[in-house]
Structure 1
Amino acid sequence: MSLEFLHIVMVGTKFAENVGSAARACANMGCPNLTLVRPVNWDEDRARSLATGTGQEVLRRMRIVETLEEAVQDMVAVYGATARGGGWRKGILTPAKAAPLIHEVMQQAEPVAILFGPEDRGLTNEETSICSRLVTIPTASEHTSLNVSQAVMVFLYECFVKSPGPVFRPAGPPESRLATHGERETLYVTLQSTLTDMDFLKGDNPDYWMLPVRRFLERTPLRRHEFNLIMGMCRQVQWLLGMKQK
């Protein structure tokens, strides 16, 4: 079993040792993809000491980028790890329930990312808002926050044991591929603008009112030809609204 299409993305990590431990976990579970977004006080030697010999290759392949958007641009699904719920953070899954959904995408040879925030605060509301789904690890008490490398290991383990077998690589036409995160973000910007112009979204906080729409659309893997269809509908609606204003 391999998690070759799973990408672990660590945002703003403050301790290089946690990166090293996460790299070791990736290697143990067959996940070769680790990305850091704006790591704080990055020290490769300290990371290597915790990666041991097992995780050295993962560290060698690891990407370091400046923006979260760059890290997830080509993903077709993005999951965010969080210890907090409520407010904007609704519909939270456990790793065990998220793993089969993640594998549905990976079985089509498409990339999936799991985001982990800094050790002291986790992911921000803005960072979780781009996620397809949110995931939390249940704990035995009110102390819900885990060490980030421990959290990485729990997620990887659940994905590993839920792996149904070899990846199916379809040879279908290009338009049948899943839409990337970058394409879906373009769609959401266009859709939000269109719904705001229609007075469907409230103008005082359109980002908040758009969130349920995003969550609804993220429940179903969006394919490229479906992306083109909805974008075309938005353009037609915007044209009609423009005609009425003349």
Structure 2
Amino acid sequence: MLKNISVVLFRTKYPENVGSTARAMKNMDCSNLILVTPPLWSMDRAMPLATAKAHVIVEEARICPDLNTALAGQTKIYGTTARTGGRRKGVLTPATAAPLIVQQLKNGEKVALVFGPEDKGLTNKETQLCSRLINIPTSDESSSLNLSQAVLILLYECFKEALDAPFTPSGPPEERPTTFEEQEILAANLQETLLAIDFLKEDNSDYWMLPVKRFMARIDIKRNEFNLLMGICRQIKWIIEKSKKIIDNEPERPSQ
């Protein structure tokens, strides 16, 4: 899906951040990683953060001596920046950049996303090589993002934009609503249970059950919830019957 996106890490200081970036890339179906003069490169330190599925991204990462070499062959370059204003005008957010990037990918272009060093980011000299700049909005109180977090946010927006259909979480199918017959069965069992625990009185219990039935209608009970409530009623009635038998079998105390 994002096969023609390259993540370019310029002078990344910590190998662990390279590993966690590779993991984020794998999550978003992006596999092209380019490292530009990493000062303390160690594959052994990067691998644990990449986790097993992203090891191949670290192993196949291309290491380049300078940014120009890393960007050779790319057709669109997006640099990331925490600072705006001055020379850094017309800055995009990940959400506004994603439709442009995905359309460019569909047009057969090769897109590079460039991330600067953790402590300083990209300088003006490096941003001049970029077609557009992207800034990730953050709280004023804490604007610093971990490198892999920034990569994940940007790739996620691109991944979401590239989906053929809107993303819907997978999971078990929603339970069906209860039928009229099931609702009546449940109401009758609840009434018996409430009578058994003296919440309702025998005198006119149907009338006092009306608020309970109205409440049940408002919450739209599903079949699995029906089973749950029926089980609770059975358990309560079983405990009451058990308690009655214990009381009935207790020997009478001798009168003093």
TM-score, normalised on structure 1?
Answer: 0.65
TM-aligned CA deviation for residue 60 of structure 1: 1.8
Matches of 1:49 and 1:136 in 2, distance apart? 29
Q: Unaligned regions of 5+ residues in structure 2, if any?
A: 166-256
Residue in structure 1 matched with residue 114 of structure 2 by the alignment: 115
Of structures 1 and 2, the one with the larger relative CO (CA 8 A, separation 6+) is 1
- Map 1:180-219 to 2 at 5 A: none
Matches of 1:130 and 1:142 in 2, distance apart? 30
Residue in structure 1 matched with residue 198 of structure 2 by the alignment: none
* Runs of 4+, deviation exceeding 3 Å: none
TM-aligned CA deviation for residue 87 of structure 1: 1.2
3-state secondary structure, aligned to 1:123: coil
TM-aligned CA deviation for residue 51 of structure 1: 0.2
Matches of 2:141 and 2:3 in 1, distance apart? 34
TM-aligned CA deviation for residue 165 of structure 1: 3.9
Residue in structure 1 matched with residue 142 of structure 2 by the alignment: 143
Matches of 2:149 and 2:128 in 1, distance apart? 24
Residue in structure 1 matched with residue 231 of structure 2 by the alignment: none
Matches of 1:20 and 1:98 in 2, distance apart? 25
- Map 1:40-55 to 2 at 5 A: 40-55=39-54
Residue in structure 2 matched with residue 203 of structure 1 by the alignment: none
3-state secondary structure, aligned to 1:21: helix
Q: Unaligned regions of 5+ residues in structure 1, if any?
A: 167-246
Residue in structure 2 matched with residue 157 of structure 1 by the alignment: 156
Matches of 2:81 and 2:63 in 1, distance apart? 22
TM-score, normalised on structure 2?
Answer: 0.63
Residue-by-residue CA offset, 1:149-204 (whole Å, 9 max, x unaligned):
110011110110010549xxxxxxxxxxxxxxxxxxxxxxxxxxxxxxxxxxxxxx
Residue-by-residue CA offset, 1:118-144 (whole Å, 9 max, x unaligned):
000000100001111100100122432
Which one-letter code corresponds to 2:112 in the other structure? A
The answer (yes or no) to whether the contact 1:22–1:153 under 8 Å persists in 2 is yes
The answer (yes or no) to whether the contact 1:25–1:152 under 8 Å persists in 2 is yes
Residue in structure 2 matched with residue 197 of structure 1 by the alignment: none
TM-aligned CA deviation for residue 82 of structure 1: 0.5
Residue in structure 2 matched with residue 19 of structure 1 by the alignment: 18
Residue in structure 2 matched with residue 33 of structure 1 by the alignment: 32
Residue-by-residue CA offset, 1:13-35 (whole Å, 9 max, x unaligned):
00000000000011110001000
1:14/1:3 CA distance change after superposition, 3 Å: same
Matches of 1:12 and 1:53 in 2, distance apart? 24
3-state secondary structure, aligned to 1:140: coil
- Map 1:122-141 to 2 at 5 A: 122-141=121-140
Residue in structure 2 matched with residue 188 of structure 1 by the alignment: none
Which one-letter code corresponds to 2:148 in the other structure? S
TM-aligned CA deviation for residue 40 of structure 1: 1.2
The answer (yes or no) to whether the contact 1:28–1:54 under 8 Å persists in 2 is no
Give the structure with higher Rg (CA).
2
TM-aligned CA deviation for residue 96 of structure 1: 0.6
Matched, 1:96 2:95: yes
Residue-by-residue CA offset, 1:205-246 (whole Å, 9 max, x unaligned):
xxxxxxxxxxxxxxxxxxxxxxxxxxxxxxxxxxxxxxxxxx
Residue in structure 1 matched with residue 5 of structure 2 by the alignment: 6
Which one-letter code corresponds to 2:132 in the other structure? R
Matches of 2:142 and 2:65 in 1, distance apart? 31
Once superposed, what is the RMSD of the aligned Cα atoms? 1.3
TM-aligned CA deviation for residue 38 of structure 1: 0.5
TM-aligned CA deviation for residue 147 of structure 1: 0.9
Residue-by-residue CA offset, 1:31-55 (whole Å, 9 max, x unaligned):
0100000101101001001001121
